[in-house]
């Protein structure tokens, strides 16, 4: 019974993943939302690690195999996946290996600048993907295609 309850809870979390917290730690502290802030940052870091794992598992040396995007989105949701990828691209400012369209896509996603007292941006913790920039660029292409396919209404086949 406990295993089934755990399975049901996991299914519910996959269908409704927690929202990305889009405020700074200062805002969270002032508004009593530190728990949500820390939980979101933790999930962002886990999402980053899952992206790296998916790329390592599914890249054969020449191409990125199918299923990498689904592996991450199933666990962390499309919103968080896009958020972490956008932050990763934004921290690689000036890297010419990221396509112009993917850079524009990343810039269209609002990420937070969460500066600490020393002027260090805390977002670098979850934006620091280990994957090579070209592999990251290819993965973002797949995420964008995945999102576009999900946005299109399902076509019903006509009955005979």
Q: Identify the burial level of 21 via C-beta atoms within 10 angstroms of its C-beta, where 0-12 means exposed, 13-18 middle and 19 or more buried.
A: buried
CB contact at 8 A, 61 and 40: no
Asked if residue 156 belongs to a domain, the reply is no
pLDDT score at 14: 55
Which of 4-8, 45-49, 149-153 is the least confident region?
4-8
Asked if residue 154 belongs to a domain, the reply is no
pLDDT of 156 above 60: no
Residue-number span of the structural domain to which 47 is assigned: 12-148
Domain count, the chain: 1
Average pLDDT, the chain: 86
pLDDT of 155 above 60: no
Asked if residue 16 belongs to a domain, the reply is yes
Question: With the C-alpha atoms ordered 37, 39, 42, 43, is the resulting torsion angle positive or negative?
Answer: negative
Asked if residue 133 belongs to a domain, the reply is yes
pLDDT digits (tens, 9 = 90+) for 15-56: 677 899 999 888 999 999 999 999 999 999 999 999 999 999
């Amino acid at each position: 019974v406990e295993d089934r309850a755990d399975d049901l809870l996991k299914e519910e979390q996959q269908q409704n993943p927690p929202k990305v917290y889009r405020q700074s730690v200062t805002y969270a502290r002032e508004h009593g939302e530190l728990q949500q802030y820390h939980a979101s940052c933790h999930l962002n870091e886990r999402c980053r690690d899952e992206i790296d794992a998916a790329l390592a598992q599914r890249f054969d040396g020449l191409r990125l195999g199918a299923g990498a995007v689904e592996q991450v989105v199933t666990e962390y949701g499309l919103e968080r996946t896009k958020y972490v990828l956008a932050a990763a691209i934004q921290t690689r400012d000036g890297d010419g290996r990221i396509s112009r369209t993917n850079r524009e896509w990343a810039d269209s996603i609002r990420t937070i600048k969460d500066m600490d007292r020393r002027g260090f941006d805390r977002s670098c913790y979850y934006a620091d993907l280990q994957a090579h920039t070209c592999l990251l660029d290819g993965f973002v292409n797949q995420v964008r295609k995945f999102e576009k396919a999900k946005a299109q209404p399902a076509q019903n086949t006509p009955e005979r």
